[in-house]
Amino acid sequence: MRWIIYSLLLSLSMVCVAAEQPFIPTVPGQEKQSQDPKDNKKEATWWEKRDQRSDIYYPHKVHYEVMKEEGDSCLLCHAFQKNDEHDETKRKPLNTVANEPLEAICHDCHVTELRGPWRCNLCHDDPKKIWPADHNSGYIQNHQEDSKQDTAICETCHLDQKFCTNCHFRRDTLNRSYHPLNYINRHGLEARMMPANCAQCHNSFYCQDCHNQ
Amino acid sequence: MHDKIIRVFILFGFATVVFAEEKPELPPFHHIVGVKPSKAIEVPEKFKLGEQGELICATCHGLKDIDKTSVEKVDKNSVDFLIGGSYRRITGFCYRCHDEEKTQRDNIHVMLDSQGEIKKKNCTFCHEEVPDRDKKLESSELKLRVSMQKICYGCHLKDPHFNSVEHQVKPAQKEMLERIHKHSKELNILVPLSEKEEVICISCHTPHQYGVIDPEKPAGNQVVIEDLEKGIEYEEHPWNEVFSADKDARLQAFNQLHNMNVQFSYQRITQEALLRLPAKDGQLCLVCHDFKD
C-alpha cells in the first residue's frame, strides 16, 4: 500500500514539473492571475510610464486646435525623423529622447511667448515637485531678501508681478501680514518718519485717494 | 493523465516553434568571400585582402578570426567592424568598393512610367505575379513573396525612423483595434494589420505610387505626391531652436556615455510620400490614437 502511495506521489510531482506549473490549489478569485513570468518581468514602455507620471499633465486633445492653427501636429513633439542608429541598446534611449518633450518645448509657448495659458498648476499638479527646495518651509515669510536681490530668478516661474501684487496690494482683507489691524488710523506718524518705507509698495496716488477728499 | 501528457508534448512543440521563430537560420555568409574582386571593383587600401588577393571576412570587418567567432561575441562597436565607419547610410559602406551609380537600383515604388503605364517588373519585387488592379483581392490572392509584415525588410531596415519598431506591435487596447476598423471605414482607407493583428510597416505606409491602385478604393486612397523620386520634402522651421534646446542635455549625456555625436533637429514636413493619410497634420496618428482630454 505504501508503495502505491509513493508511486502516485512521484507521478503527480513529475506531471507538475513537466507542465512547468507548481501544483497549487486554486484559490477563488485568483484564477485570472497571470502564470507567465514574462508578464511580471515585462518592463513598462515609456508611454505606459507616462500615464503613471504625476509631475506633468499634458492634455492632447486641447492642443489639437492650436496645432492646426499653427500647421503642426503630433510630429512636433513625437519625432519620426530618420534613424541612423540601429544598435537597439542605443536606439531605444534615443527614441525616448526623440519622443519625450521636456521643459523647453512646453515652456516655449506657455512661458517664453505666453501664447498659451501659463498658470503653473495647469500642467504641474503639485507645485512642490517643481519649486526650489527652499520654498518648502515658510518661504512666504522669508522671501523678502531674495525678491530684492534678483527678481529675474523669481520671474522664471512667477511670470509677472501680479503674483506679488495679488498679496501686496490687496485691500479686500484684514490680513495682518503687512500692516497690523487698524493701521490706517495710525499710519500718519510712520508715514512722516519713514515715507520711503511706504513708497516701497504705495505710490503718491494711493495717499491722495483719501487725503484729497 | 492523457491530458497532461498531451500538454507536455504541445509545450515542447510550441517551444520548438518559438525557438525557431526567434533564431531563424541565416545563410553562412552575407557577402561572397574567397574570390578576387573584379576590375570593376576598387578596393580601398584600408580593406585588406587575403594572401592571394581574395576577399576574406576581415577585408570588411577587420577583426581577427571573425568567421570563427559567434555572432553574439563579435564586437560590432569596434572601430574595425565596418572599416572607416560609421557611415551616415549603410550603403555608404558598400560604395567604398562598388560604384554607386552603376550598382544602385531603381526606386521600385516608382511604378508608373512617364506615360502613366505600370512598370510590371517593379510589381514582381514583392508579388510573384502582377496582381489584377481592377479586382478586389484577398490578401492570399496578392501572392506576396514573403508575409506582409516582413516584405519591407527585403530593402528597408526594421527601424528606419524613430518610433518604427515601437509601432510594430499589437495595439495594447481592444478599443484601439476597434478604432482602427471604424476609422478605416469612415475614411475609406486600408489599414492592413498582420495575421496577429499587429501594426506593420504597410499599416501606415503604402508601397504603391499614387494612381497605381484606383484612388477611390481604400487600398488606393493615399497622400498625393507629384514627384515620387523627390520623396519627402521639408522646410526650415523656427521651432528647431526650441527642439534642439529641449533635447540638448539628454543628448549630451548620451553622447558622453557612448562617445558619439548624435544631434536632433526639427524641420516641418511639406511633402509626404507613400502614406495612407497625411501625418503632418496628425490625421494618420488619430486613426489609432485617441485621448481623453
What does the angle CA A18 – CA A24 – CA A27 come to, to the nearest 5 degrees? 145
For residue B70, tell me if it sits in a domain: yes
> What are A174-211's pLDDT values in tens digits?
555 678 888 889 899 989 998 888 887 787 888 888 88
Position B192 confidence tier, pLDDT thresholds 50, 70, 90: very high
For residue B280, tell me if it sits in a domain: no
Position A95 confidence tier, pLDDT thresholds 50, 70, 90: very high
For residue B92, tell me if it sits in a domain: yes
A43 CA to centre of own chain: 24
For residue B17, tell me if it sits in a domain: no
Tell if the CB–CB gap between A61 and B292 is shorter than 8 Å. Answer: yes
Angstroms from A59 CA to nearest CA on chain B: 5
Whether the predicted pLDDT of A27 surpasses 50: no
Say what the pLDDT of residue B126 is.
Answer: 92
> What are B255-265's pLDDT values in tens digits?
999 999 999 99
> What are B232-274's pLDDT values in tens digits?
999 999 889 999 999 999 999 999 999 999 999 999 999 999 9
For residue B243, tell me if it sits in a domain: yes
Say what the pLDDT of residue B102 is.
Answer: 84
Closest Cα in chain B to A68 = B281
Whether the predicted pLDDT of B9 surpasses 70: no
Position B10 confidence tier, pLDDT thresholds 50, 70, 90: very low
For residue B33, tell me if it sits in a domain: yes
Q: In chain A, what residues touch B161 (CB-CB under 8 Å)?
A: 80-83
Supply the range of the domain harboring residue B259: 233-271
Domain end call among B82, B105, B128: B105
For residue B226, tell me if it sits in a domain: no
What grid cell was written down for A181? 489691524
Q: Is B247 exposed, middle or buried (0-12, 13-18, 19+ CB in 10 A)?
A: buried
Tell whether ipTM is more than 0.85: no
The owner of cell 542605443 is A90
pTM (two decimals): 0.68
Tell if the CB–CB gap between A18 and B268 is shorter than 8 Å. Answer: no
Strand B233-235 with B268-271, pairing: antiparallel
> What are A111-146's pLDDT values in tens digits?
889 888 888 888 888 888 888 999 988 898 889 888
Interatomic CA distance for residues A51 and A54, integer angstroms: 8
The owner of cell 509626404 is B272
- The single-letter DSSP state of residue A42 is P
> What are B81-116's pLDDT values in tens digits?
888 777 767 778 888 899 988 888 789 999 999 999
Interatomic CA distance for residues A73 and A28, integer angstroms: 49
* Nearest Cα residue to B1 out of A2, A4, A12, A25: A12
Q: Report the domain count for chain B.
A: 2
Say what the pLDDT of residue A41 is.
Answer: 58
For residue B69, tell me if it sits in a domain: yes
> Looking at the partner chain, which of A71, A80, A94 has a beta carbon nearest the beta carbon of B262?
A94
Whether the predicted pLDDT of A53 surpasses 80: no
Tell if the CB–CB gap between A19 and B7 is shorter than 8 Å. Answer: yes
Domain end call among B66, B87, B105: B105
